Structure 1
Amino acid sequence: MTSHELLAEQRTRIRQLGPPGYAERRDALDALADLLARRDELAELMAADFGGRAAREVEILELCPLHSELRYVRRHLRGWMRGRSAATAWPFWPARARLLPRPLGVVGIIGAWNYPLLLTVLPMIAALAAGNSLMLKMPRLVPRTGAWLQRELEQTFGREYVAVLNGGADLSKEFPGLAFDHLVFSGSTRTGRVVARAAARNLVPATLSLSGKTPAIVAPGYPLERAARRIMAGKLLNAGQTCIAPDYALVPEGQVEAFVKAAESAAGALYPRLVEDGDYTRIPSSMLYARLDALLEDARRQGARVRVVNPRGEPCTVENGVFAPALVSEVTESAKLMQEEIFGPILPVLPYADENDAAALVERHPDPLALYVFDEDTDRARRTVARLRAGGASINDTLFHVAQPGLPFGGIGGSGIGQYRGEHGFRRFSHYQGVFEQSRWSVTDWVRPPYGLRTQLLMRLVLGRGKGRR
């Protein structure tokens, strides 16, 4: 069955059965939770796809947020599904107006290889809660995880409700151009532009979670060791292959070397063994590995200092997929490290003179998906977050804002369009249908032809005599 035929089959099911009720949606979320409970199986699949990824990391970064999201959505779903009263203009009283959440229809989701569960299933939870059918397109870099999701989800739900597609370049080109009712994409800004153009040809609204260069700003007076430990933890999880990982650090002038030493110590404590331990995630593609090598070489050619963190001096090669953490100082803004999202375990460290200097450097790049501010002055930290545009932010830590089910996830400007998670996701994948309920007696009879004295009196009341009404 082609993807176009599959989409048509899902639409036929929607027309025949109508929108699912609360019980059906709740059952779907329960079934999804049961599948995600098979954590050992999922961890093994992703370790095989990556060439090495710690089971604990899969649990912490992918499964825990998904289970938290499922608990939150199931607890609040009944309330979100209720219709809500809306304001009714006084001339129409005693008629009523209501807002009723309706499913959009068929939602397409393009998953991301770096978090093949989280970035596929997280929007899926919101779309199922809103009553939609789903078509998921899995990335080619994680074939085992994609095959498992296809088999298990389609056996659980049926292809006419939830379908999973795995394929090559032809499918990647075709999928964004299908006439979905909504399309979700997580990935690079470059690919996001291609996806948005393809969706626009069918007027399909798209939610794009992209990336950009996420800054970590260390304010004067904040303990460097604490900042370095938390920044490096966020940077090195999943070997830096995280769209909201700190992309570069900004520290006060004169503190770059001290921060680099603290960051080197923190990285060594987090991952004392890069190859033997198994806690450190691999780079799953030789092409991606070569790109990271090229970024470091370009920085060196432009005079940057590169400090590689490899406590045991282990062989880190393209063959074993281990790319050692690297701290880069004296890097110029013309270096590719500062022009592209790094998406790996490389952290440039740059000095700044004052708040305005730090803000100016951040603002020279497109709006990032995340912003991290380390400051013991809470008011100043909040001012910094309010001043700089970003999809989301954490103060005095990294990554954890996306672990809160009550906060939306999504970008702004160059880092994306639209948000989902929790109620924000339910709203994103719902159409709020406005419904007007006329009463038995209505003054609207006065505004129908033939127009007479009653119409004239009503217009005087509504429009007044030229004076503004509050």
Structure 2
Amino acid sequence: MSANDYMGEAEIRAILQRQRAAALADGPSSAERRGELIDRAIDLLASNEQALIAALSADFGQRSPTFSRHSDVLSPLATLKQTRAELADWMQPERRQTPRGEAWVEYQPLGVVGIVTAWNVPGNMVFKGLAGALAAGNRVMIKPSEFNPNTSALMARMIRSAYTEEEVAVVTGPAEVGQAFCSQPFDHLIFTGAASIGRHVLRAAAENLVPVTLELGGKSPAIVSRSADLKTAAAKIVVGKTLNAGQLCVAPDYVFVPEESMDAFIAIARAVLAGFLPTLADNPDYTAIINERHYQRLQGYLAEARQAGVTLVELNPAGETFDAASRKIAPTLLRDPADGLQVMQDEIFGPLLPIKPYRDFDEVIAYINARPCPLGLYWFGNDAVEERRVLDRTCSGGVTLNDVMQHAGLENLPFGGVGHSGMGAYHGIDGFRTFSHAKAVYRAG
């Protein structure tokens, strides 16, 4: 497909105008109607599971089928089904106390919601965003990442087969199409991706005063307390870091370990990885890096660290060499890299894990607070006082205690960032409310 085959700004605007006109003509939709729209999405995922897994693998070059099934099919399916079950309750007016008369809040559809997704778990983001937007009674326009051409094209075909363009539309194409998409006067826009792009999205939305939800990632720290079971903590961190080869916005980005436990942590990490990924190069369950640009970016981090004298610990149980064309990188621990190195400045988004030793716990809190608020934070331990200090004295989008990333997968918790890691939240009832207008109503007594 040539650049001329993609939609221009006028065509994108025309879809939005048709969706808005349809919304005004039809009026607010019932719970039954919203549920029927969600049922279509459920059927799409259930009937296209293998096709989605194959498309994702084609886009990555090699992606774990097991991970794809869980992240891009089963997880959004669970979201859609829970949303379907609960949306009628969410739609009920919420009574508020008033000294006289009556007061309540009604949750009204915003109109047309724009969804812009990243490339790392595209099915997950498209269908979880769709769940909240449809539950709230909106029309939806979706712009998936151009880095997933096979998956994006498949999802566009899937959605066209189940929805009219006035209900849900997918706009595919390169970055210029994304720019045109984000410049539209949506009633709400949700963007998932890099902070550098998020700034442009926010500027574009500001021209039309479009409210925006941004999920931007960041450097999510893991903290291993002296009170933690070191083996359990190391195992969960390593497993979490290798999912999708670290290409997850909530992946642990670096880990604090008591200085006296550094060697033990590394030894456990070696053993754990060898247990569930005994080979890497030809192992279909170990995912490749999405494209050459990101592969070279990660290789650059390693080269800079190596030149700076950082000890690199490659977790490569079979001692394999990797064909550069495969874009696979062995999980690698970086022992106490200097803060000025790029691997400690940028969100890694790959299977590299810096390990920072600490002597006093106050150092850990101070280090985290001196940097932008991360999307996730992970603490391992059994010290209730220390746990409370972490929760009270740090700021992050969400926290998982004694594991990694789990808070992001729970539909009954809001998912989103704070500060540099984003703004706003969605998932579950919080997604319903994000994509609704909370209309205050008062009736005089």
TM-score of Structure 1 vs Structure 2, range by shorter chain: over 0.9
1:370 to 372, 376, 388: 376
Structure 2 unaligned segments of length 5 or more: list them: 1-6
* Distance across 1 between alignment mates of 2:332 and 2:271: 12
* Distance across 1 between alignment mates of 2:98 and 2:400: 40
- Return the letter of the residue paired with 1:3: I
1:10 to 7, 19, 37: 19
SS of 1:409's equivalent in the other structure is: coil
* Distance across 2 between alignment mates of 1:169 and 1:75: 37
* Distance across 2 between alignment mates of 1:360 and 1:345: 26
Query: For 1:371-390, what aligned pairs fall within 5 Å after superposition?
Result: 371-390=377-396
CA deviation after TM superposition for structure 1 residue 436, in Å: 2.6
2:129 to 123, 139, 142: 123
> Does residue 199 of structure 2 align to residue 193 of structure 1?
yes
CA deviation after TM superposition for structure 1 residue 273, in Å: 1.2
Q: Compute the TM-score of the two structures, normalised by the length of structure 2.
A: 0.95
Query: For 1:79-90, what aligned pairs fall within 5 Å after superposition?
Result: 79-90=89-100
CA contact (8 A) 1:371 1:385 kept: no
- Return the letter of the residue paired with 1:74: R
> Does residue 210 of structure 2 align to residue 204 of structure 1?
yes
Query: For 1:6-155, what aligned pairs fall within 5 Å after superposition?
Result: 6-37=15-46, 38-90=48-100, 95-155=101-161
* Distance across 2 between alignment mates of 1:62 and 1:381: 32
- Post-superposition Cα deviations, 1:4-46, rounded to whole Å, max 9, x if no partner, equal 1111111111111112111110001111111111322211111
CA deviation after TM superposition for structure 1 residue 379, in Å: 4.1
Deviates more, 1:396-405 or 1:409-418: 396-405
* Distance across 2 between alignment mates of 1:67 and 1:382: 34
CA contact (8 A) 1:286 1:318 kept: no
- Post-superposition Cα deviations, 1:377-434, rounded to whole Å, max 9, x if no partner, equal 2442233123211111111111111221111100011100001111111111100112
Deviates more, 1:108-117 or 1:49-58: 49-58
Pick the structure with greater CA Rg: 1
- Return the letter of the residue paired with 2:225: A
Q: Tell me the residue number matched to 1:403.
A: 409
Q: Tell me the residue number matched to 1:214.
A: 220
* Distance across 1 between alignment mates of 2:391 and 2:443: 44
Q: Tell me the residue number matched to 1:322.
A: 328
CA contact (8 A) 2:222 2:254 kept: yes
Detail structure 1 runs of 4+ shifted over 4 Å in the superposition: none
- Return the letter of the residue paired with 2:77: H
* Distance across 1 between alignment mates of 2:273 and 2:312: 15
Q: Tell me the residue number matched to 1:341.
A: 347
- Return the letter of the residue paired with 2:247: Q
CA deviation after TM superposition for structure 1 residue 438, in Å: 4.0
> Does residue 183 of structure 2 align to residue 183 of structure 1?
no
What is the RMSD computed on CA atoms of the aligned residues? 1.4
CA contact (8 A) 1:52 1:281 kept: yes
Q: Tell me the residue number matched to 1:450.
A: none
SS of 1:123's equivalent in the other structure is: helix
CA contact (8 A) 1:260 1:349 kept: no
CA contact (8 A) 1:184 1:208 kept: yes
CA contact (8 A) 2:218 2:375 kept: yes
CA contact (8 A) 1:99 1:435 kept: yes
* Distance across 1 between alignment mates of 2:139 and 2:94: 24
Count of residue correspondences: 435
* Distance across 2 between alignment mates of 1:154 and 1:241: 29
> Does residue 426 of structure 2 align to residue 420 of structure 1?
yes
CA contact (8 A) 1:112 1:120 kept: no
> Does residue 276 of structure 2 align to residue 267 of structure 1?
no
Structure 1 unaligned segments of length 5 or more: list them: 440-470
Q: Tell me the residue number matched to 1:442.
A: none
* Distance across 1 between alignment mates of 2:314 and 2:432: 44
Q: Tell me the residue number matched to 2:364.
A: 358
* Distance across 2 between alignment mates of 1:181 and 1:350: 44
SS of 1:174's equivalent in the other structure is: helix
Q: Compute the TM-score of the two structures, normalised by the length of structure 1.
A: 0.90
CA contact (8 A) 1:54 1:279 kept: yes
Query: For 1:236-315, what aligned pairs fall within 5 Å after superposition?
Result: 236-315=242-321
CA deviation after TM superposition for structure 1 residue 329, in Å: 0.4
* Distance across 2 between alignment mates of 1:422 and 1:121: 12
2:180 to 165, 170, 174: 174
Q: Tell me the residue number matched to 1:464.
A: none
> Does residue 237 of structure 2 align to residue 231 of structure 1?
yes
- Post-superposition Cα deviations, 1:325-352, rounded to whole Å, max 9, x if no partner, equal 1110031111111111111000000111
